[in-house]
Amino acid sequence: MKKDNLEYLASVLEKADTGPVIEEKEWDYQYIGAKVKDLIKKYDISWEKDTYVPADDDLADRLYQAGWELALESGVYCRNTKKQMLWTQDELQEVIDSGPSELVVGTGDDEAVLRQRRPEQPSRVTILGGAYGTLIEEELFGAMVEAYAMEPLIDIVEPPSIPTAFGRTIRIQSPWEVMAARRESDLALAAITRAGRPGMCVGAAATSGSEIIELAATSYNAYRQTDWHHTSFISENKVSYADLTRAAHFYLTGSVAHTFCDPIYGGFLGGKEGVAIGCVAGPILLRATLLGDTVNAGPSHAHLSCDTHPDLLAAQALSFQAIARNTKLLKGIHIRPAHGPGTKEILYEVAAMALMGVSSGVDYLKSVQAACGVNMGHTSPVEARLCARVAHAAEALSREEANALVTQLVNKYQALIPTADTGIHFRDSYNLETLEPAPAWQKSYEEVIDELKEMDLKL
């Protein structure tokens, strides 16, 4: 992938070094908190409490204007330099327009294509499946990635993270990060090869660390430029030198770059309306700062962490519609349910998110950070499989139709979120020999599929 506007890249780094100096507290309270509050009022951002998939195009467009104004007037805060990074209207528009509207990832027979969609557009969404952001024991990592890669409906696989490399603790900013980078990529690439999909695009690198791990993993004998390389913001709209370094590395190596942010519901953005604005401004600024080929905002509930909370559904739906209607950014939905594998509720949450996202115009779905990704090994390919089936069924739905289904699903899980069952470990939900779901988990899946069919979803 040719990425050669190095003067722009240098100008972004320069903004981080030469912008106005701001204290972080001032950023949080003034440039985010007060600003977002004003924008909600100025653009009249509100919707009915029980609507989960709004179909108000004017509201979506006003939300885009609010997000744009936040991006333009507040910009990004660089934590290393305490500087505010600002773009002019023209700069911002130019960089947003320069993003791809279609993206080929992976290689050969295993290529996948991400294409721009709009709300209610009956075109195919791309499915990313994996245990991204969730730890798994090193010895089970390969089996888990293979199990996901064996799912035919998954186009791109996202590996879990490993807590150790060769049995040793991965010390941050140490050579162990390089060891972990190679360990993860070796295991992941071997797993997709065993699954018969050696050219499959892999989300890389999944194991957390400093920028070292990402840089080391994107190299010879490791992850390829055609894999899906991550860099992100810190909430809200903050960036670190480490993330700028990752972004520069992906740009210079011509690698596919995925960028994400996690606006916090109940944080400095405020409530659902503020999160909706954050979910628009974030992707705009991700493209401008980190030059992502794909963007996503995966909002997080301040206490529950999940993004399936009813208040967050419409906020995300509107933000997808806003971006889809006003840009060609390749945007996705990040699915982070409260429940874990083995429970029916996780499947309700995943289905609700898929219906909401696809009808609102997302181009791809990231499925699934089960049980909010905080319980080691609590994730399985079954929930990604369900996501894929529902997502493809939703390609034919209007927002109103999706809203009706989502309302039924939310009623099935919302009361249980605060005490969500985090489910069972991969070794209990799957047969590690056959890499097939355990009978009980398979049965739950089939029962939920039947329930969805009974709700008139064409699976």
Partner 1 sequence: MNDPKVQIDEFANILDKAENGPMLDINDWDQVYIYQTIKDLVQKYDLKIDIQDPGVPSDDDMADRVFQAAMDLAVQSGVYCTDTQRQMIFTREELEKVLARVPEEVQIGEGSETRVIKKRTVDQEGHVTIGGGFWGVVVPEDLLLPMTTAYAQIEENDFLCTGALRTTYGRPIRAFSPWDTLACWQEMRTTFEAVERAGRPGMTVSGPNTSASAIGTVTTVTHGCVRPSDYGSVAFMSELKVSYDDLIRACHYVQTNSFAHNFYNPIFGGYAGGAEGVAVAHVAGFILMKATLFGEAFNAGPSHAHMSTNTFPPLIPAQSLAHQALSRNTNITCANFTRPNAGPGEKDLLYEIAAYQLALVTSGVEIATGVQTATGRHEAHCSPLEVRFLIQMVRAAEKMTRAEADPIVKKLIGLYKDGQKENKIGKRFDEVYDLDSLEPTNEWQGVVDEVVDELEDLGLKI
Closest CA to 70 of 235, 277, 219: 277
Token pair of 120 as six digits: 């209610």
The rounded distance, in Å, linking the Cα atoms of 105 and 1 is: 10
Site for partner 1 in 174-203 (CB under 8 A): 174-179, 181-182
| Largest separation between any pair of C-alpha atoms in the chain | 59
Site membership for partner 1, residue 212 (CB under 8 A): yes
Per the CB < 8 A criterion, the answer to whether 365 and 127 are in contact is: yes
Site membership for partner 1, residue 255 (CB under 8 A): yes
Measured from the CB atom, is 289 or 308 closer to partner 1? 289
Per-residue contact string for residues 122-161; x = within reach of partner 1 by CB under 8 A = ----------------------------------------
Cβ neighbors of 73 (< 8 A, separation 6 or more) are 35
The rounded distance, in Å, linking the Cα atoms of 236 and 265 is: 11
Residue 25, class by beta-carbon neighbours within 10 Å (0-12 exposed, 13-18 middle, 19+ buried)? exposed
Closest CA to 390 of 359, 334, 351, 356: 351
Token pair of 160 as six digits: 């879990």
Q: Which of 224, 258, 309, 339 binds partner 1 (CB under 8 A)?
A: 224
Cβ neighbors of 273 (< 8 A, separation 6 or more) are 40, 45, 46, 315
Window contacting partner 1 (CB under 8 A); options: 40-48, 190-198, 250-258, 261-269: 250-258
DSSP E strand stretches across 62-160: 76-78, 83-85, 102-105, 112-115, 126-130, 156-158
Per the CB < 8 A criterion, the answer to whether 397 and 359 are in contact is: yes
Window contacting partner 1 (CB under 8 A); options: 1-9, 40-48, 261-269, 413-421: 1-9
Measured from the CB atom, is 246 or 339 closer to partner 1? 246
Site membership for partner 1, residue 14 (CB under 8 A): yes
Site membership for partner 1, residue 97 (CB under 8 A): no
Residue 443: count other Cβ atoms within 10 Å of its Cβ.
11
Cβ neighbors of 314 (< 8 A, separation 6 or more) are 47, 51, 52, 53, 54, 272, 276
Residue 44: count other Cβ atoms within 10 Å of its Cβ.
12
Q: Which of 21, 46, 113, 166 binds partner 1 (CB under 8 A)?
A: 166
DSSP for residue 116:
-
Site membership for partner 1, residue 9 (CB under 8 A): yes
Measured from the CB atom, is 176 or 430 closer to partner 1? 176
Site for partner 1 in 21-80 (CB under 8 A): 80
Token pair of 280 as six digits: 């628009």
Measured from the CB atom, is 108 or 418 closer to partner 1? 108
Q: Which of 79, 121, 241, 412 binds partner 1 (CB under 8 A)?
A: 241
- The distance of closest approach from Cβ of residue 169 to partner 1 in the complex, given in angstroms and rounded to an integer, is 9
- The distance of closest approach from Cβ of residue 334 to partner 1 in the complex, given in angstroms and rounded to an integer, is 25
Q: Which of 143, 162, 222, 382 binds partner 1 (CB under 8 A)?
A: 222
Number of residues that bind partner 1 (CB under 8 A): 42
Site membership for partner 1, residue 252 (CB under 8 A): yes
- The distance of closest approach from Cβ of residue 358 to partner 1 in the complex, given in angstroms and rounded to an integer, is 34
- The distance of closest approach from Cβ of residue 8 to partner 1 in the complex, given in angstroms and rounded to an integer, is 10
Measured from the CB atom, is 145 or 248 closer to partner 1? 248
Q: Is the peptide bond before 236 cis (omega within 30 degrees of 0)?
A: yes
Measured from the CB atom, is 6 or 455 closer to partner 1? 6
- The distance of closest approach from Cβ of residue 250 to partner 1 in the complex, given in angstroms and rounded to an integer, is 10
Q: Is residue 267 classed as helix, strand or coil in its secondary structure? A: strand
Q: Which of 171, 303, 443, 453 binds partner 1 (CB under 8 A)?
A: 171
Q: Which of 51, 218, 308, 403 binds partner 1 (CB under 8 A)?
A: 218
Site membership for partner 1, residue 215 (CB under 8 A): yes
Q: Output the CA torsion sign for 416, 368, 391, 433.
A: negative
Residue 292: count other Cβ atoms within 10 Å of its Cβ.
27
Site membership for partner 1, residue 17 (CB under 8 A): yes
- The distance of closest approach from Cβ of residue 252 to partner 1 in the complex, given in angstroms and rounded to an integer, is 5
- The distance of closest approach from Cβ of residue 234 to partner 1 in the complex, given in angstroms and rounded to an integer, is 15
- The distance of closest approach from Cβ of residue 183 to partner 1 in the complex, given in angstroms and rounded to an integer, is 8
Site membership for partner 1, residue 247 (CB under 8 A): yes
Closest CA to 290 of 16, 12, 75: 12
DSSP for residue 316:
H
Measured from the CB atom, is 224 or 272 closer to partner 1? 224
The rounded distance, in Å, linking the Cα atoms of 154 and 46 is: 35
Query: Site residues (CB under 8 A) for partner 1?
Result: 6-7, 9-10, 13-14, 16-17, 80, 166, 168, 171, 173-179, 181-182, 211-212, 215-216, 218-222, 224-225, 241, 244-245, 247-249, 252-255
